[in-house]
A and B are shown apart, each in its own frame.
Chain A
Amino acid sequence: MSAFQEGHQKEVEGLLATISKHRDLIARGYSARRGAEFSPEEEVSVQLLRSLGLVRPTGDGQFRLSKQLRELINRGVNRHHIRDINVNLGEYLDSLELTINDYLAAKYSKDEIILENAIDEMVSVFYEIGDFFSDASVEIDQQVKLVIGNHAYGQERIRVIRAHLAKLDRLQEAHETITQLLDDEIYTEDPLLSDERIKFLARTLRYIDQVKSTHYEIKTVLHMREVREQRTQKLRLLDAYLRENPTATFENTSENAVNFTFFQCIEPTRVQSFINFESNDHNWIEFYEQTIHALGQKKPYRPEHFTRPASGPTNMNKVLHQKEEAAAMKIINDLIRYIYTNKTAVSVTSFKHTHPLSGSVSHGYWLYISRMHPARLLLSPKSRLARFFKVTPIFSEHLAIEGNRRIKDVVISHIHASRTHFENLKSDIHSVDEVGS
């Protein structure tokens, strides 16, 4: 540790020791609603705390804690206990009654000085009540935010949050008691009282918003916790069940899996690429661009074949394969989007890899994107292709009308057939080509 750090640490330790030494005095200052009294022997201590900016004198033999220290302690001791709210409410109701009586008496006495003093006192009581609600709600909100800020809600935190909710409810009840009292006709008939009443209600509007928002936050957290506890409970039941029945097959779940979104979650689409990075030339990119262009030019249902440019050896390393796969996905993505955005009807497209030496199809790369009537598709040779590849055609719900026929988008993408399937397929393709020509 550097000398500077060490010195700094000593300074902090010294400050904390001073605070600890005068903790009785500080606690007394905190408990007093206005100024706290101190004895002449304590004057040196008060001066010392004042020099540290922790307290300030408020009159002869009295002092208050600084705002910062009070806020710090508020956070630590969780102020505005329900008891405080009740005590304050009782005091405020008494103060209101007393000052209103003084004001009315002064009003009838027609002594201007007494009346002025009574009005001052009454206005300050209204302000004090308004400030109390506003401060209490802000303080509770801050404390709630401190607890809620951390997403890991242990049981202790939940207990604290529940305690805040109870305080908030009590505060709200106290506010309702005061506002109901202010509905009394004396507060609506007298112009000055009516004015103060309206001012008070306007000042506490922010308080009401604050309480609502804090209340909502607390309720949300408690609800989330409840949901989480229930879920944990359920999963523990499942664990216990599996301990008892380790070979459980969950037939019901298997039957109803389609009704739950997670089980409909799609498997990653594995696509054998028809782009070869090893070729290291632009033929592939041109091929891709031309294909996209050709797709746009094609008439519906006219079979087209695109032959993959020669690529040499097809043995690729894993990284290269992944790169190709990613590129192929991008291309398929583009093709699908192209068809969708341009509302183009495109028939089955097959990409074949022709071996550069023999000229025969040695490896199949297939991408079918089609827009045709499902019944027609199922009857067509393309459907047979799909069966060879064990691909279930996917019929989306997107409908379009072409002439007097309803068109559905169909996208089938696949890939790699077994050698036997492939041999069968080749003869099929030839027969389709012959029929087409």
Chain B
Amino acid sequence: MLSEIALKLIQGEFICQYTNANLFNELNKEDEVIKQEVERFLSVIGRTLQTNTRGTTFFAAHLPDSPGAKEEARKAFEKLRERIRPTLSFLQLMAEINAHEGESSVFIQGGEILSVPEVIAGIEHNQAHLNSLDRLIWVRKKDDPLSVKVRQLFKELEKEGLLAIKNPKTERYVVTGKTDVIQDALSFIVDIESISAPQASDSNQGQGELKL
């Protein structure tokens, strides 16, 4: 068990509550025996065990003080930067499909189930959703039928580790803990860049100008 966990971690895999419950539970045990063993093992190679805000997944990270960690972190960010817009567009699309009438929608999170037929049904009669789907980078052939595009989207996101197939027959996917981690990272960007909503005074000023 220990070597299986260590191997996955040093290969950069996420040990998620929803897709790898056995290994996750071993790491999450109260006695923390396995967790400490893994920590000791990772410390030898300058890594440490980390979890996300919701505690839904474990992953290996560089020790912040280890040489090269800063450079690695910057590289990881550069890699994520290219994916920010598409990831947000996907989250928006899923939130809008899942939202019930008159409700403000929230983004999906780890553990939620997404059904391909339901997503297809949610998109097919809504031109705005169809346009959003076509703009996603994971959908390569825009002329494909809707069902093909949605299936391709889910397959691609599965490859990226954001979704995992739960039931191939019913085409039900589970949102992984890695999705939670990425949302945490995006949230970090908002904080560190001090991105905030436009000031109310600005909009008032705008309205005043319109009246004139």
A in complex with B: yes
Query: If A235-B190, A238-B84, A260-B185 touch, does A393 touch B67 (CB 8 Å cutoff)?
Result: yes
Contact of A257 among B66, B77, B107 (CB under 8 A): B77
| Interface: A156 (CB within 8 A) | yes
Q: Lowest 10 A-B CB distances belong to which pairs?
A: A268-B12, A392-B68, A264-B61, A394-B46, A257-B73, A263-B73, A258-B73, A155-B103, A257-B77, A262-B185
**A394→B45 CA distance, assembly (Å):** 7
Contact of B46 among A152, A241, A395 (CB under 8 A): A395
Report whether B112 and A152 are in contact in the complex, using a CB–CB cutoff of 8 Å: yes
Please count the residue pairs between chain A and chain B whose beta carbons lie under 8 angstroms apart in the complex: 192
| Interface: B122 (CB within 8 A) | no
**A259→B77 CA distance, assembly (Å):** 11
Interface string of A393-416 (1 = CB under 8 A from B): 111111000000000010100000
Report whether A330 and B74 are in contact in the complex, using a CB–CB cutoff of 8 Å: no
> CB-CB < 8 A to B59: which residues of A?
265-266
> CB-CB < 8 A to B182: which residues of A?
262
> CB-CB < 8 A to A315: which residues of B?
none
Report whether B7 and A329 are in contact in the complex, using a CB–CB cutoff of 8 Å: yes
Interface string of A218-261 (1 = CB under 8 A from B): 00000001001101101111110110001001101110111111
Task: Please count how many residues in chain A sit with their CB below 8 Å of the partner chain's CB atoms.
Answer: 55
Report whether A392 and B44 are in contact in the complex, using a CB–CB cutoff of 8 Å: no
| Residue ranges of A at the interface with B (Cβ–Cβ < 8 Å) | 151-152, 154-156, 225, 228-229, 231-232, 234-239, 241-242, 246, 249-250, 252-254, 256-269, 329-330, 333-334, 336-337, 339-340, 392-398, 409, 411
Contact of B100 among A155, A246, A259, A336 (CB under 8 A): A155
> CB-CB < 8 A to A151: which residues of B?
111-112
Which of B88-96, B152-160, B165-173 has 4 or more CB atoms under 8 Å from chain A? B88-96
Query: If A237-B196, A242-B84, A253-B193 touch, does A264 touch B187 (CB 8 Å cutoff)?
Result: no
| Interface: B149 (CB within 8 A) | no
Report whether A264 and B62 are in contact in the complex, using a CB–CB cutoff of 8 Å: yes
Q: Can you show 16 pairs from A to B with CB atoms below 8 A apart? A: A155-B104, A229-B106, A231-B187, A235-B91, A238-B88, A238-B186, A250-B193, A263-B77, A265-B61, A269-B10, A269-B11, A329-B10, A340-B44, A394-B67, A394-B68, A396-B44
> CB-CB < 8 A to A246: which residues of B?
85
Report the minimum CB–CB distance from A398 to chain B (whole Å): 5
Contact of B85 among A232, A242, A266, A409 (CB under 8 A): A242
Report whether B76 and A156 are in contact in the complex, using a CB–CB cutoff of 8 Å: no
| Interface: B41 (CB within 8 A) | yes
Report whether A396 and B43 are in contact in the complex, using a CB–CB cutoff of 8 Å: yes
Query: If A154-B103, A396-B43 touch, does A266 touch B73 (CB 8 Å cutoff)?
Result: no
